[in-house]
């Protein structure tokens, strides 16, 4: 049996240079790549609000709440609005805005009511907002959360609007400071 070249196959009059192509597997998160991307194919576009509690000794507990974003606000606009209503653009009292307080189990003199804003990101994680759910029984949108921040900021951040044990600790600390001040002690030492 003899093989003959096919007549339909023609030779190319110039040499073909072949390049070796190396394929690499890359993981790409389309939401991280474009923070404003939000399609139903990727699931719900929610907003993750990350925060932390840091006591005076610099021990930290992290927290997170995830809100819906039905208005499709950009992440930059959300962060800008959130920061505008926080004390010094960074601090808030969690209970005043129905966010889970992240205090340590046992209280020390280092404890205070303030929590610290960390970051906001777009996520496909499910909505997690337990304190608001316990009170209102609905999923809070990020615009509602921003409205709660605005309301708390306008009425003033209330350092006594915290868990009862933290409030008692604060009252005790204030009492000690008043006594020290009345007796003429140097309270800044």
| Model pLDDT for residues 126-160, shown as the tens digit of each residue | 998 887 777 778 889 999 999 999 999 999 998 77
| pLDDT value of position 29 | 46
More confident residue, 163 or 20: 163
> Does residue 51 contact residue 64 with C-beta atoms inside 8 Å?
yes
Task: Please determine, for residue 92, whether its predicted confidence score (pLDDT) is greater than 90.
Answer: yes
Strands (E), 25-180: 46-54, 60-68, 91-93, 114-123
Q: Binning pLDDT at 50, 70 and 90, where does residue 11 land? A: low
Is 7 within a domain? Answer: no
Is 20 within a domain? Answer: no
The two three-digit tokens of residue 3, written as one number: 């093989």
DSSP SS3 for 157: coil
Q: Is the pTM of this model over 0.85?
A: no
Per-state percent for the chain, helix, strand, coil, to nearest 5: 35, 20, 50
Is 5 within a domain? Answer: no
| pLDDT value of position 155 | 93
Is 27 within a domain? Answer: no
Look up the domain containing 162 and give its range: 45-182
Is 31 within a domain? Answer: no
Q: Binning pLDDT at 50, 70 and 90, where does residue 22 land? A: low
- The residue-averaged pLDDT of 102-118 equals 80
Task: Please determine, for residue 95, whether its predicted confidence score (pLDDT) is greater than 60.
Answer: yes
- The residue-averaged pLDDT of 21-33 equals 47
| pLDDT value of position 40 | 44
The two three-digit tokens of residue 79, written as one number: 């962060």
Number of domains comprising the chain: 1
Is 146 within a domain? Answer: yes
- Give me the long-range contacts of 155-164 (CB less than 8 A, separation at least 24): 157/87, 157/91, 157/92, 157/93, 157/96, 158/93, 158/96, 159/93, 159/112, 159/113, 159/114, 160/113, 161/93, 161/95, 161/96, 161/113, 162/93, 162/95, 162/101, 162/113, 163/95, 163/101, 163/103
Is 51 within a domain? Answer: yes
The two three-digit tokens of residue 179, written as one number: 């006594």
> Does residue 71 contact residue 143 with C-beta atoms inside 8 Å?
yes
Q: In what order do the strands lie in the sheet with 46-54?
A: 60-68, 46-54, 114-123, 91-93
Is 114 within a domain? Answer: yes
């Amino acid at each position: 049996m003899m093989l003959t070249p096919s007549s339909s196959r023609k030779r190319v009059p110039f040499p073909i240079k072949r390049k070796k192509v190396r394929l690499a597997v890359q993981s790409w998160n389309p939401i991280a790549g474009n923070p404003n991307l939000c399609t139903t194919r990727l699931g719900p576009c929610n907003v993750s609000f990350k925060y932390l509690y840091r006591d005076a000794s610099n021990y930290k507990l992290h927290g997170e709440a995830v809100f819906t974003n039905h208005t499709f606000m950009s992440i930059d606009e959300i962060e800008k609005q959130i920061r505008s209503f926080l004390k010094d653009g960074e601090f808030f009292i969690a209970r005043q805005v129905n966010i889970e307080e992240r205090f340590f189990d046992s209280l020390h003199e280092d404890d205070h009511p303030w929590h610290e804003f960390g970051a906001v990101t777009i996520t496909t994680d499910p909505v997690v907002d337990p304190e608001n759910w316990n009170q209102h029984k609905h999923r809070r949108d990020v615009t509602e959360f921003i409205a709660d921040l605005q309301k708390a900021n306008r009425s003033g951040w209330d350092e006594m609007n915290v868990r009862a044990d933290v409030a008692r600790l604060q009252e005790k600390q204030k009492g000690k400071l008043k006594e020290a001040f009345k007796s003429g002690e140097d309270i800044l030492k």
